[in-house]
Structures are given as structure tokens and as C-alpha cells.
Structure 1
Amino acid sequence: MNKINCNKCIYYYITWDKINPKGCKFFKFKSKQMPSIIVLKSSGNPCKAFIEKK
């Protein structure tokens, strides 16, 4: 299984929130960890929303 790099995803963004600095626009959440890790932990599947930035 390939590791998903959120930094290369169109939905990834950096928030102004010091506690939860990493965000996902597709799933509409912020976290301390990379969004792809949260998605994998909660669903058991790798992120299906990943679209690489051009």
C-alpha cells in the first residue's frame, strides 16, 4: 500500500489553528496529524479523495 502524501493533494491546506494546523477541504476537518493518516485510522482504508496537484 502506497503512503498518501497530503502535501501533494489539491484538498490539503494549512490552517491558522495552532492546535490543528493541517486541514482537508474534501472531508472538511482539521487535525494535528496529516489528514490521510486520520482517514486511514478512522475508515481502515487509504484516502479515496486524493487528487495530485498539477
Structure 2
Amino acid sequence: MAEQPDQSRPAQCRTCRNYFVTWDKARPHGCRAFNFKSPRLPCFDVQSASHMLCQNYQAKQANSG
């Protein structure tokens, strides 16, 4: 089950399972949930476009091992 986003602060992309780092120097940050790459963290683009905090935040699973 997806973790509900904390509406009191912006989503932390680097702890989201949808976030990834690209090889594109101009757009090094990516979001699998919204299928785009950006020069800044995706949560800022989402908030700028929708005027809402990211609703697709899913916390990464902790590594076991």
C-alpha cells in the first residue's frame, strides 16, 4: 500500500521509489510516476505545475542484508 504524502512539507524525491538519477547532464533528476526528467527535483516541478504537493510519493523499501 502506498504511503500517504505528508502535506506539511514537500515530498523528498530522494527517498521516493519513483525518483531516479539520469545520465542527462541537462536533466539529471527523473520521476517514474510522472514519466519526466528535470534539471531540478521533480517534486518542485509537480508543485509548480499543479499547485499541490506530490501525490505519488512512495517511500523506498529499506535494504535488508
Segments of 5+ residues of structure 1 without an aligned counterpart are: none
The TM-score with structure 1 as length reference comes to 0.95
User: Match of 2:51?
Assistant: 44
Runs (4 or more) in structure 1 with deviation over 3 Å come to: none
Residue number in structure 1 paired with 2:31: 24
Where does structure 2 lack aligned partners over 5 or more consecutive residues?
Answer: 1-7
Q: Percent identity?
A: 35
Q: TM-score, normalised by structure 2?
A: 0.80
What is the deviation of 1:13?
Answer: 0.1
CA RMSD after TM alignment = 0.6
Q: Which has the larger radius of gyration?
A: 2
